[in-house]
Amino acid sequence: MGDDGQGHQFVLTIKGRSLLYTLNRSNGHIDHDDLVIHVLSPTLSHPLAGAPLLDDGPTDANPGLPEPPKHTSGLMNPDGILGVVPNSDPLTIIYEQKILNGDNSGSTALPDAQVCDGNQKPGVNVGWQNYYNNIPAGINTGGITANHDITYLRLASTVDGFHFTDLGRLRGLNDPTTVSATGTRWLATAGSILRLKNGGYGLLFSGGGCIDGDSDAFHYIGYAESNDLIHWTMVNGFNNPIASVFPVTLSVDANGIPGPGTSITIPSSKPVVGNTQGFFAGRVYAPSAIQQGTRNVIVVFAGYHTTKPKNGLGDYRTIGRVGLNSSEDIVEIGSNGELDGYED
């Protein structure tokens, strides 16, 4: 399927119906409109039957008329669906809310001191202003600039896949006000939800912060657990991640802002998967878990060699795979957007 202005694809199967959700990337619509819904008729030989080739285009019955698009309702500034909560009734999802330029505009605007670059105000978070201008000695930030988006992961339920009820934002994962070099400011759309035998839940996700200057949240792959799907405890974060971009060493002040102070290396602990390979030195994100027995998972993830991918094939997206062991029995893993249950 061609992108043609749509992205962050996710397939959800509910009541025997397969629905493809996409983000409308068009200017003035991205992270503002509801998600676009394409009703699929999947078969073994054509699992995405019903998906548009380029856009919503003309219908078979009326080749001269555009097909009226369908959309979700009830989701808040949706950027995409992360996954389905296993064995949920009504069906429950975790999705990402993204407020474009939310930290320095509109009703969500934050104080200058809580914005990475201090809104370029003199004397406010000067360390980040310098960082984005490649001033720290020995550090080439590769064109990183300040980002002003706000992101949350949120919980929502649905009985038909079209109309959703928002159940609130997930807490304990990110802080949109943090300006620390090791603070998780942003979370990404893709991840995996695990149901554990002890009655709790696990969440594989990717996160990032001011050090990346990008709300796509690609600095590290982390893991958190919850008993109620709303309140989460971070197990693997910025400094003890499952996977991370290449280590960064810099001097920070008492608030974790670049500048005179203490020299730190991020992450401070070796990632669970070991040292980052060159393929993933610039970005790691989109962890997708596949269950292998009661305490083992295979995690497939994506990455880039550089922070800002260029034209070279070695800089472009690479897919990685790693096996992980769990200290708790895993009952099942929620859908990550794959098609299932179709017939030929």
Cβ-in-10-Å burial (0-12, 13-18, 19+) of 45 comes to: exposed
Whether the predicted pLDDT of 339 surpasses 80: no
Which are the contacts of 42, defined by CB distance < 8 A and separation ≥ 6?
18, 48, 49, 50, 339, 342
The domain segmentation of the chain, as residue ranges, is: 6-333
* Mean pLDDT of all residues in 228-250: 95
pLDDT of residue 282: 79
Whether the predicted pLDDT of 27 surpasses 60: yes
* 261 φ, ψ (degrees, to nearest 5): 160, -125
Q: Residue 296 corresponds to which tokens in the numbers above? A: 């083992």
* Mean pLDDT of all residues in 128-149: 76
> pLDDT higher for 344 or 228?
228
Rounded Cα gap, residues 270 and 275, in angstroms: 7
List, for residues 44-69, the tens digit of each pLDDT value.
888 778 777 654 444 444 444 445 67
Range with lowest mean pLDDT among 95-104, 306-315, 324-333: 306-315
List, for residues 177-191, the tens digit of each pLDDT value.
999 999 999 999 999
List, for residues 253-279, the tens digit of each pLDDT value.
999 999 999 999 999 999 988 766 677
Sheet with 296-304, edge to edge strand ranges? 283-291, 296-304, 318-325
Nearest to 52 by CA among 13, 6, 18: 6
pLDDT of residue 273: 84
Confidence of residue 34 (pLDDT cuts 50, 70, 90): confident
pLDDT of residue 30: 65
Beta strands 318-325 and 296-304, pairing class: antiparallel
> pLDDT higher for 47 or 37?
37
Sheet with 91-99, edge to edge strand ranges? 78-84, 91-99, 150-158, 164-169
* 11 φ, ψ (degrees, to nearest 5): -105, 130
* 175 φ, ψ (degrees, to nearest 5): -130, 105
Rounded Cα gap, residues 153 and 320, in angstroms: 24
How far does the chain reach from its first CA to its final CA, in angstroms?
20
Residue 69: what residue type?
Answer: P
Q: Residue 98 corresponds to which tokens in the numbers above? A: 């993204």
> pLDDT higher for 142 or 256?
256
Beta strands 150-158 and 164-169, pairing class: antiparallel
pLDDT of residue 114: 97
Q: Percentage of the chain with pLDDT > 90?
A: 56
Task: Give the three-state DSSP class for 69.
Answer: coil
> pLDDT higher for 250 or 27?
250
Give the number of other Cβ atoms within 10 Å of residue 262's Cβ: 10
pLDDT of residue 139: 57
* Mean pLDDT of all residues in 331-336: 84
Whether the predicted pLDDT of 137 surpasses 60: no
**Which parts of the chain fold into alpha helices (H)?**
126-132
Confidence of residue 91 (pLDDT cuts 50, 70, 90): very high
> pLDDT higher for 112 or 30?
112
**Total number of residues shown for the chain:** 344
Give the rounded distance of the alpha carbon of 188 from its chain centre.
Answer: 1
Rounded Cα gap, residues 115 and 145, in angstroms: 13
* Strand locations in the chain (E): 6-14, 17-24, 36-40, 70-71, 78-84, 91-99, 150-158, 164-169, 186-187, 192-196, 201-208, 220-226, 232-236, 243-244, 248-252, 262-266, 283-291, 296-304, 318-325, 330-333
Supply the mean pLDDT for the chain: 85
pLDDT of residue 15: 86
Q: Residue 322 corresponds to which tokens in the numbers above? A: 């790693």
* Mean pLDDT of all residues in 24-46: 78
pLDDT of residue 59: 42
Confidence of residue 1 (pLDDT cuts 50, 70, 90): very low
CATH classification of 6-333, choosing from 2.60.90, 3.40.50, 2.115.10, 2.40.50? 2.115.10
Confidence of residue 310 (pLDDT cuts 50, 70, 90): low
pLDDT of residue 215: 93
Rounded Cα gap, residues 228 and 239, in angstroms: 25
Q: Residue 342 corresponds to which tokens in the numbers above? A: 């179709």
The residues facing 6 across adjacent strands are: 24
Whether the predicted pLDDT of 121 surpasses 60: yes
Whether the predicted pLDDT of 32 surpasses 80: no
Q: Give the global pTM.
A: 0.88
* 44 φ, ψ (degrees, to nearest 5): -60, -40
